[in-house]
Amino acid sequence: MDERTNHLKAINFFKDPRIQAAKKLIQEAVEDHQSHLSLSNQPVKELQEEYQKLLETFSQLRGGKLYYPYVGSGFGNGPLVELMDGSVKFDMISGIGPHYWGHTHPEIITIAIEAALSDTVMQGHLQQNIDAYEYCSLLKRASGLDHCFLTSSGAMANENALKIAFQKNHPAERILAFEHCFMGRSLTLSQITDKAAYREGLPMNIHVDYLPFFREDRPEESTQLALQKLKEYISRYPKQHAILCLEMIQGEGGFHVGDKKFFRAIMEQCRSHQIAVMVDEIQTFGRTTELFAYQYFQLEDLVDIVSIGKLSQVCATLFRSNYKPKPGLLSQTFTSSTIAIKTGRYIVEQLLKEQYFGKDGKIAKIHTYFTNHFLQIKKRHPHLIHGPFGVGAMIAFTPFNGEDAKVTSFLQKLFQAGVIAFSAGSRPMRVRFLPPIGALSYHDIDEVCKIVEEVLLECDKEKE
């Protein structure tokens, strides 16, 4: 018996038979109501007028129009989500990544109930419960890195990574990044993100030098070009670069996949000049056939700092001991909610235990099943799509030659037809799926791809 059981009142509280019975009743209720939730693309007529008013009011409250006419009811069934107009959609973007276990997952609800029984809603720098310790320990072991600092958002995880590198390599103040990268939307991160619209009207507060990313169609040439550019920057600004920020698969940039030899050449060059190598895994974490993308590319030996987020629920900055910051550099009032911490730990544990990873894991099988569907669509209608692209649980295709306006229109029509996806990149723009792997079946994929093909054909007819 765990010694804590004899001394901690919390143990007996959480194991109270009344609480266990309540959780069981809730689970039964969830399953009963989910049995009545199936795909219905049509909104309920009686709810339409009220729903339109809701959308307009919400847009005014936010100060900008919603991308999709989406306001959820708070109920779903795996990849299916119900909206306030009564319609039900296949969610293939998962909130741009976080909802990896889908909607209204019974086990996630149980974890959330247990977290709701905890003494505080939020945990933070001054007061952290055992949950935060256990999650940090899990991430440290799984990553092979030495330290783990939990934080409230992916942007904050990346900001912490920058602070760690700048302090370690002071007075160096420049950043190396890749063209078409996405780092976040804070004042500093928007200067790194390679999209002018995200920093329009903002003051410049950081120096960023961009390297060309890997080209799958020109592997040797693109590697040499990036190395040449890197050496030029190092020569032009000697000892002024503190950190290289990189995504191994560019998510927002269009699901462009890097290459082991390419990354190794760049990372070794940076290491030789004492430039920190930081891998942004906010989107890739848990979506390749390994938990971390740098493990997928077998580059563990060259990584100094890593940021994770989205499906992890709580975000984190992981780093080696030689980058351990001085006291006071990293701090915050709250890390995240107890629900997020306990849920994130549960999801990562399930990924590691339940055969999601490896060549024959669930992630690889889901990817193959999806891509086979898209290849068949391409075979039947070669003029409609290019691709598919991506790795693991990051899947994309390019419809209508990637013309921004046409892809955006296609996404809106796809939403109305019952599938929620999102865009990635520009010129060409791609359609991006971040499917909820923990709740997805092959039948779901069949239905999703059927709708995708129908909408492609519908859009193609409109051009005629």
Give the residue among 215, 207, 222, 213 at the shortest CA–CA distance from 176: 207
Distance CA 395, CA 433 (A): 5
pLDDT-derived band at 76 (thresholds 50, 70, 90) equals very high
Count the helix, strand and coil residues of the chain and give each as a percent rounded to the nearest 5: 45, 20, 35
What residue ranges do the domains of the chain occupy? 3-34, 45-96+359-463, 114-353
Domain spanning 114-353 has what CATH number?
3.40.640.10
Condensed to tens digits (0 to 9), the pLDDT of residues 381-421 reads 999 999 999 999 999 999 999 999 999 999 999 999 999 99
CATH class for domain 45-96+359-463?
Answer: alpha beta
Peptide bond before residue 171 is cis, with ω within 30 degrees of 0: yes
Q: Bridge partners of 323?
A: none
pLDDT in the model for residue 1 = 43
Distance CA 227, CA 263 (A): 10
Mean pLDDT of the chain: 95
Which DSSP symbol is given to 4? G
The structure's pTM equals 0.95
Which string of DSSP letters, residue by residue, matches 55-112? HHHHHHHHTS--SSS--EEEEEEBTEEEETTS-EEEESSTTTTT-TT-BS-HHHHHHH
Pairing of strands 174-178, 241-246: parallel
Distance of CA 188 to the CA centre of its chain: 20
- What is the average pLDDT across 67-90? 97
- What is the average pLDDT across 257-279? 98
- Alpha carbon distances (Å) from 325 to 35, 148, 304, 407: 51, 12, 13, 45
Pairing of strands 241-246, 419-420: unpaired
pLDDT-derived band at 3 (thresholds 50, 70, 90) equals low
pLDDT of residue 5 exceeding 80:
no
Q: Token match 């990544």: residue?
A: 97
pLDDT of residue 185 exceeding 90:
yes
Q: Which residues contact 217 (CB under 8 A, 6 or more apart)?
A: none
Distance CA 421, CA 432 (A): 6
Q: Bridge partners of 257?
A: 249
pLDDT in the model for residue 144 = 97
SS (H, E, C) 146-157: CEEEEECCHHHH
Which DSSP symbol is given to 283? T
- What is the average pLDDT across 257-274? 97
pLDDT-derived band at 2 (thresholds 50, 70, 90) equals low
User: Euclidean distance between the first and final Cα of the chain, in Å?
Assistant: 73
Distance CA 93, CA 146 (A): 32
pLDDT-derived band at 430 (thresholds 50, 70, 90) equals very high
Which string of DSSP letters, residue by residue, matches 389-445? EEETTEEEEEEGGG-HHHHHHHHHHHHHHTEE-EEE-SSS-EEEE---GGG--HHHH
Distance CA 331, CA 308 (A): 17
Distance CA 243, CA 450 (A): 45
Q: Token match 């092979």: residue?
A: 144
Instruction: Judge contact between 277 and 302, C-beta under 8 A.
Output: yes
Which string of DSSP letters, residue by residue, matches 258-280? --HHHHHHHHHHHHHTT-EEEEE
The region, left, alpha or beta by phi > 0 then psi within -120 to 50, assigned to residue 289 is alpha
